[in-house]
Structure formats: structure tokens, C-alpha cells
Amino acid sequence: MPLTFPKGFVWGAATASYQIEGAVTEDGRGPSIWDTFSHTPGKVERGESGDVAGDHYHRVAEDVASMADLGLDAYRFSIAWPRIVPTGSGAEAGAVEQRGIDFYSRLVDALLAHGISPVATLYHWDLPQPLEDAGGWAVRETAFRFAEYAEVIGRALGDRVDIWTTLNEPWCAAFLGYAAGVHAPGRTDPQAALKAAHDLNLAHGLGVQALRGVVKADARMSVTLNLHQFRPADPDDAEDVDAAHRLDAVGNRIFLDPILHGRYPDDLAANTSSVSNWPWAIPGDVETAGAGIDVLGVNYYTPTVVKFWDGRSPKEGADGGHGGGASPWVGVSDVDFPAQPGPKTAMGWPIDASGLEELLERLNREHPGVPLMITENGMAAPDVVAPDGAVHDADRIAYLNDHIAAAHRAMEAGADLRGYFVWSLMDNFEWARGYGMRFGIVRVDYDTLARTPKDSAAWYRDVIARNGLP
């Protein structure tokens, strides 16, 4: 039976600057922490980097034409902070790189010319390296530098961008970057990770305040969180349930509660007391984090099954599928992540669309009145180019179909879901996994940089045209 979405539902695709742009030394762009990290031996598979990536910086016209061919309602892209303020600091003349602003201005104009709504993310992990050298997100001042940058780009593009997203997945930035060390900047300091989480929350609030003063009145403010759908291995086991709840504090509520309610969850300090006593939460910071959003972005790929670990028996899993470095789960060490049966993506992530349905229903239940958008959803697949030059990615189509159907069920249950963005528009540099993981619905040949729409692109075009599933 066909599934139709409400009129006005937004269908989009998403990308991120460091993953697709390339041109890392052109037109005044400064180095980011991902430039440094990817050029550090052993940090990225096969020693790859985003130096060229998909060369989107030089292929904007071609890529926007591809979006138009898909019939996208919206395009979610990120702005590279080092292209706008190369040193990361200052809004005065000379600190701001006009050529970087001009690049994104051309992109926005091209999108609007094709009837595609621009959705701009200000921070998708490419912190200017000079700010990391000064302490990075573990230093409170970085949040104020972010607000400066937000105001600069807001003044430049604020008359044309419809949705402003301050941060993408701050959990990854804080805990994979500063605790597990598997993402840039590659630090393994649990206390710094907690500090980074707080400063990212502060940056979000300061960024919203800065943007609201300079962008058009009907622009919407947003943040995108990679919310974990934790499932106790045994729902009837009190210890498994408790383990999932404690992980939820440091995995989800550490951002949800400040941003949506202007406070930290009551159990967070207790759960992380072995690492820190949170001395840096200056009065007013958390209230600033709750400056208010108009839509919450939700990134979902897979659920996470959690089991209490007794400290003696061998662990079944490592870190919940987050890279195998030091643990990102600061303050929660007595947990295990047992391997799950069934199909998995090329990343090794279990495929289970019911987790998305559960997550959306939870958000609707616990945070009623907050409009939602799925801002990333997709799968890495072992794409093979057929003799005819096509990519027949039936596995990706099945994944997307099942997750869109799950989103529809959540809406029928009351979730206020406004849109869906597939990850990703094109194959890209998949962070520490390099170019071995392909998420795109458009294939990129990394030798020639030629683009080839996969079968999933044609399928998604049909979904958009019919505003639902057949």
C-alpha cells in the first residue's frame, strides 16, 4: 500500500564541507583539525585525506544540476569555518576571507535558482587548527569565536538561507574527538571531552543569538544531534536497563536537555563524577545553550544494544561501533555492546529501521512541540560498477525504503516530522575510514571525479516526485 507524506514535507540530501569540497589550500582557506588529523600517519585508513575529496569546490554547478535532476526540495550543506575565518578568530577586516564567503554565496544562489532550499550547517567538525592549538573545544573561548564566525556568515548569507544549523553531531566532536581519539583532533582526555561537550552547547546558544540578530526574520534555527537509540540487551534485566539509562545521559541528554530545556540532566554529574565534577559550568552558560530552536535535526543509522558488564567476563563488543579506540563513553565503563545478528552495512552497523521509529516516538513523547527533521540517514554499501557503467545498489534502496517507512509510522503515532535528508548526496571522504566507505546515491570515481547517479538516485527521485513510497 502506498505511503504518502503530508503536503510540504521536505525531501533533501546532505553533505559536509571537508568530506566533499577538496581545495583545502585554495582562496585563503586555513587548515582545520581534519587536515592535520588526516595527514598524521595511522589516523585515517590507507593514509587518505580530504585534500581533493569530491572536488565539489570546483564542481558546484554540476553538483547543483544533479540535485535539481533529483527534484530535491532542500540541500543540507556545511560551511567550512576555515574558509571564512582562516585563523578561527576575529571578525575585523583582514580576518575574514571574502573568497570563502563568495563560494558559499554562489552555491546558495545556484540552489535558489533551481528552487532548492538552502540548509546551512555552521560546524561539521572542521575546527580551524589555530583554535585547537589554543585548546580547541576544551577551552570556553572557542564558543565565543564560533559566535563571531556565525555572525560573519549570517550577515553574508542571512537574506537567503532558510534553515541555520549551528552544530552537526556535537557528541562525535566531543567524545570521538577528545575521549576516544578516533576523530580529529585525536585526543584521549575524558575530562577534555566533557568540557568540549559543555562548550559546544554554549557555542550553540551563542551562535543562535548571533544569527538571530542578522538573518531574515523567517529563518529557522536548528541543531543536528546523532541521537543514540540505546536498547538494553535484556529489557527485563534491571542492570541492563540501568546501563542503557546511564549511557543515555552522556550520549543523548547531555545535549538534548541543555538545548531544549536550558539544564543538564540530574544524573549526568553523578554518572561522570569519576572523571570530573563539572567545575566549568559558569552560571548562565546552560541557559544560553537553551536559546531556542525551531527544528531539531536527527541523524540516525543504527540502534545500539547495551549490556551491563560485571568487570570479569570477557566483553563481547568494544565501544558500541564508534571506532575501536579509547572509550567515548566517559564515566560509564561497566557496559558491553554485544554483537547483533542480522544484516549490517559496510560500516558493520546493524540494519534495523525500527530504531528510527522508536527514536522519533521517544522525542515526541519526551519533548512535545519540538518539530523534527531527519537530517541524515543512509548506508555505506559495497557498491560495484556493472559492465554497463551503472551501480545497482538494491541494498541501499531497501535500507532507505525501510527507514522512510519507519519515519512514516512514527508520524502516524504523532511525531511532528517535517523532512528527510538522505546521507549522502555523493560518495565522500568518510572521516577515519577514508574513501573505502561509500554512502552516496551518486557515485564519485575518485580517479576521474566523474559523477554517476546510482539506482538509488533514480529511486529517490521517484520518492520525491510522489511524496512518498509506492
Q: What residues are annotated to the active site?
A: 169, 376
Which grid coordinates belong to 120? 546551512
Which grid coordinates belong to 68? 535539481
Q: What is the dihedral of CA 440, 294, 177, 433, to 10 degrees?
A: -10
Residues contacting residue 64 through CB under 8 Å, at least 6 positions apart? 75, 107, 110, 111, 114, 116
Which grid coordinates belong to 148? 563571531
Residues contacting residue 333 through CB under 8 Å, at least 6 positions apart? 327
| Ramachandran area for residue 27 (φ above 0: left; ψ -120 to 50: alpha; else beta) | left
DSSP H/E element including 279: none
Cβ atoms of 424 and 13 closer than 8 Å: yes
Task: Output the 3-class SS for 378-425.
Answer: CCCCCCCECCCCCECCHHHHHHHHHHHHHHHHHHHCCCCEEEEEEECC
Q: Are strands 220-225 and 295-299 parallel, antiparallel or unpaired?
A: parallel
Phi, psi of 383 (to 5 degrees): -60, 140
CA distance 410 to 397: 20
Q: What is the DSSP string of 289-315?
A: HTS--SEEEEE-S--EEEEE--SSSPP
